Structure 1
Amino acid sequence: MARETFNISFICRETKKNKLGLSPIIMTIIVNGERTQIQLPMKAKPEDFKAAMRGEGEKQIQEYCLEQRKRVDKVLTEMLKEDIPLTSANLKSALQNKGAGKIYTLADLFGEYLSIIEKRKGKDLSVDTYNRYVKTTKMFMDANSIKPDFPATKVNLSHLLNYQATLNSKLDVATSCNYLQKIKSIFKFGFETGRLSSNPAFGLKIDKGIKETILYLTEEELSRIENKAFSGRLQKVADIFLLSCYSGLSFADISSLEKEDFKTSPNGYIYAEKTRKKTGVKFVAIFLRNSKKILERYDYELPIITNQKTNEYLKEIGTICEISKGLHFHMARHTAASLLINHRPAIPNETIQKIMGWKDDRQLRHYAGIFNQTIFDDIGKAFGEKKPKPAIKNAEINKDIDDIEAFNKLLGITPDQGDLAD
């Protein structure tokens, strides 16, 4: 732990003189390099203050400053006893409130952080993301069997590691990492705002495991769903999934589309222009392939159900279509990105970025996969086509054998003598 430094000094601010020539006395407190100032009730003439600091003149000013030092020492003792982080901001607050104040609890920390990010809800922060922040605070307390009135200053790395172990035992790697990252952000906020003297999550390492291969549907797998006739609910889910494969829209974004959002471009393509629910980035989704047929089937009013139910039905669809990749809705977005990046002639990355609603085109590495056929075609164009060697016919093989036997006979070699190499 780093050594804590502490210092108190007093000045008389001459620039704040009143009509009587008196200036306020300012107490400056420095804790671990952080400075804060408190204007004290007492006022004095600047020259009298300077004399008092040299041990001359009126003792009243000296005694007053000494009294303030004792008051600071008393509050410091209370703060240490109550396990309140020693920061300049906390010390100033305690002095102005005439005491060390109440213990800073998890309820205080979580409540303060959530109230700040709640203002972003529906703007640059989705409702689902906000709800996950709320959920991670509750799960953290449940995992450690602690209540909201538990002092936030007493949370240490062991609490975080215990939470991590609990999540990993119940959730998949990606979801576990998501909740851990959020609780880590909250404790970092507490430390950086001076509420906590240290960040208990500083040493927490979030292992995202082995990076999974990008899962997307090939043209052949996509055609299985396109050409299959489903009944009732499965057909509706399949249609929405296909629309996402054709446009690249996430479940949240395709769910937000209203009938009036669909427009037709000058060259005849159906498109929708909005901002992404998750990031607030503007996108221009182009509905390609069989989109028009699907949209007209529902009169442009999409039959959306919950994400959870949609994924349940997609697993049924995957089984029916003999797709072994574990079909889920987000795979449609990966499929769309892969179809766009593999299209020939090539579509510029900037265009794909705009369609997908990415902040930059680096997301291509995460979302899109390169088809084998694309690799073969690109190499063929770059280095020329390689023609396969024609198969050797049996008649030609027999002719070669006859030629070898004739050659051996000419040299006087019989089959019993072996060949020339021997």
Structure 2
Amino acid sequence: MKIVIRFKVRSKKNALANTPHYIYCRLTVNGIQARSDMATGVHCKRDEWDNNFQQIKGDTEGVRLQNQKLQQMRDDLDEIFNEYRKYDKAITAEIIKQAYLNKNDVTPRTILVWYNKYIDEDLRQRIQDDTIDSWLSRRNVLSQYITEVLKRKDVDIQEVTAAWLRSYQKYHISKGNGADHAARSIGSIKKVLDYAVIEGALSYNSTVSYKPPRSKRSPIKYLSATEVQQLATCPYYSDRLQRIVDCFLLQTYTGMAYKELYTFDAKKHLTTDELGIGWIMIHRGKTQELSTIPILRQTRDLLEKYNYKLPVITNQRMNEYIKEAATIAGFPPEKVEDFTTHLARKTAGMFLLNSGLRIETVSKILGHKSIKVTERHYAKILTSSIVKDLKNNGLLV
């Protein structure tokens, strides 16, 4: 492995002969140059530069100091290169350049350090604690991989390439984790590297091209309009079950996930526009995206029934009780197992799309980050809606 350090005088276009020209450092390792040259802060006139000896001509004090600065830069780059070789670190011209440019940064440029910085300095400001816990769990698995498999305490962020992530994905699979679990872990690392780029610790994120494989998506589970009616009209003879069914139905009319249902506060989240239309404006607990939910007649009836204070209990209990209610309502055992608070949210999306709402509108109501998320979750109903529209317009028979 060989490093080549060369200084180049960069001429300005149409510059006069006596105009100072700045000297840049070009770094090459094993024949591959760094992405860009580095400024040295040294300048001279064009005819004062000796390219063969790689220094400024002359013996004045000013020239001597300028040449010393160039030599110090060369020595520092050589030192970094030799240190990386000594500890068997990944070496490229770009890695050596970035290490030099950040040599005065007190923050270690390693993946675990930057993982923690991203959580503490960015994520904690905008996501919920339970989501933070998921990030910390993935961070711990990453630390375990580095310690047990790589036999190291940490790795430089520039070592984390697409190939590196592919090896990490295989590690997850070898541990019995599913493809989606592995993909989420890898996605977290890519976001950490993006943050390092923003903060100037990394020149670019080399992992953007890597798309980890995911599991084949299961068909979406939801209730039909008839099944929602079946659940809504059944007499339960139990206030406990009726309250849970009402909360479930409210989710099917609004698309609120359990967390939004739990944190719902009429004073904070209800509003009425200039046309007199009522809205629920609430941020999704999972993504902090704003859900803009119109208050349908069914929604208003349920809110008024409980004086706008929803009888929400723990998610675990709600899932238990809604299964009990579904059994009483006459659903078969295999369908009863599908009943959870999340089934209500999925049902809401299907209800809205089947009602003819544009996907952009449904995406906004559900608080999805993008329409692509809505399309991915509701691909089946979108296909059937297209067929329905084609038939209504006489294009299909």
TM-score (norm 1): 0.65
Structure 2 CA distance, aligned partners of 1:266 and 1:63?
Answer: 73
Cα offset, 1:230, TM superposition: 6.2
User: What RMSD, in angstroms, separates the aligned Cα atoms of the two structures?
Assistant: 4.8
Task: Work out the percentage of aligned pairs sharing the same amino acid.
Answer: 21
Counterpart residue type for residue 80 of structure 1: R
Match of 2:136 in 1: 134
The within-5 A match list for 1:397-412 is none
Match of 1:213 in 2: 219
Match of 1:58 in 2: 59
Alpha-carbon spacing, 1:281–1:195, altered in 2? closer, same or farther (3 Å): closer
Q: 1:355 aligns with which of 362, 365, 368?
A: 365
Q: Does 1:28 align with 2:25?
A: yes
Q: Does 1:77 align with 2:87?
A: no
Counterpart residue type for residue 334 of structure 1: K
Alpha-carbon spacing, 1:145–1:295, altered in 2? closer, same or farther (3 Å): same
Q: Are the equivalent residues in 2 in contact too, given 1:84–1:104 (CA < 8 A)? A: no
Q: 2:123 aligns with which of 115, 118, 143?
A: 118
Cα offset, 1:242, TM superposition: 0.8
Structure 1 CA distance, aligned partners of 2:206 and 2:259?
Answer: 34
Q: Does 1:366 align with 2:340?
A: no
Match of 2:293 in 1: 285
Count of aligned residue pairs for this structure pair: 359
Alpha-carbon spacing, 1:199–1:234, altered in 2? closer, same or farther (3 Å): farther
Q: 1:331 aligns with which of 343, 357, 361?
A: 343
Q: 1:271 aligns with which of 260, 279, 282?
A: 279
TM-score (norm 2): 0.69
Alpha-carbon spacing, 1:381–1:264, altered in 2? closer, same or farther (3 Å): same
Tell me the SS of whatever aligns to 1:272: strand
Match of 1:152 in 2: 155
Q: Are the equivalent residues in 1 in contact too, given 2:112–2:139 (CA < 8 A)? A: no
Match of 2:102 in 1: 93
Structure 2 unaligned regions, length at least 5 = 13-19, 28-32
Q: Deviations over 1:204-252 (max 9, x none)?
A: 732222x211211012221232123263554333222110101122223
Larger Rg: 1
Cα offset, 1:80, TM superposition: 2.6
Q: Are the equivalent residues in 2 in contact too, given 1:215–1:334 (CA < 8 A)? A: yes
Q: Are the equivalent residues in 1 in contact too, given 2:271–2:278 (CA < 8 A)? A: yes
Match of 1:182 in 2: 188
Q: Are the equivalent residues in 2 in contact too, given 1:311–1:327 (CA < 8 A)? A: yes
Q: Are the equivalent residues in 1 in contact too, given 2:26–2:37 (CA < 8 A)? A: yes
Structure 2 CA distance, aligned partners of 1:133 and 1:277?
Answer: 15
Q: Does 1:165 align with 2:174?
A: yes
Structure 2 CA distance, aligned partners of 1:376 and 1:24?
Answer: 68
Structure 1 CA distance, aligned partners of 2:363 and 2:4?
Answer: 53
Cα offset, 1:353, TM superposition: 4.1
Q: 2:266 aligns with which of 224, 238, 259?
A: 259
Cα offset, 1:290, TM superposition: 3.4
